[in-house]
Structure 1
């Protein structure tokens, strides 16, 4: 994989595409590159990818460390519904790709 050869902004975009395609390892690498190069919100994106990679507890802990009010609710919801989050991440069947496509279409039409 040639991710280190891309710009920080491209790595950030690749990370979100990898999240949409449920490729958490690629997303973690891409967001890691973006974080190293100082892309805004790359820390938060990396944390979301960490949760998608089957590590919800470290993701929740990291969200708490980042101290962002909008994300504090997400961290609490992940903690409250830990079983469902783990099930959704570890199951081959989920609606993640469809939800990502719906969001993409909504953003294009906005």
Structure 2
């Protein structure tokens, strides 16, 4: 399997992985900074993890293996903090196409 070429990942993001809810609200893991990614801030209609149709205002493409479950906090290159709505891991074993992780953000 071929990984996404590093030269395409021109932006840097910070991810705080969602761990779950507690009595005090959502809990996040330690922030992981300087993650290479390709960010497109455009409006799209997507389906969230719970099945609702929601509006995504940013899409992030990163290397496979990104630890970013739905609900994670992401700091975009512009400094805007957003929430991951859905995460898709794209793979094509045996084919010469790059594998990547796609995150749709609130």
- Greater strand percent: which structure? 2
TM-score tier, shorter chain, comes to: under 0.3
TM-score, L = length of structure 2: 0.25
TM-score, L = length of structure 1: 0.24
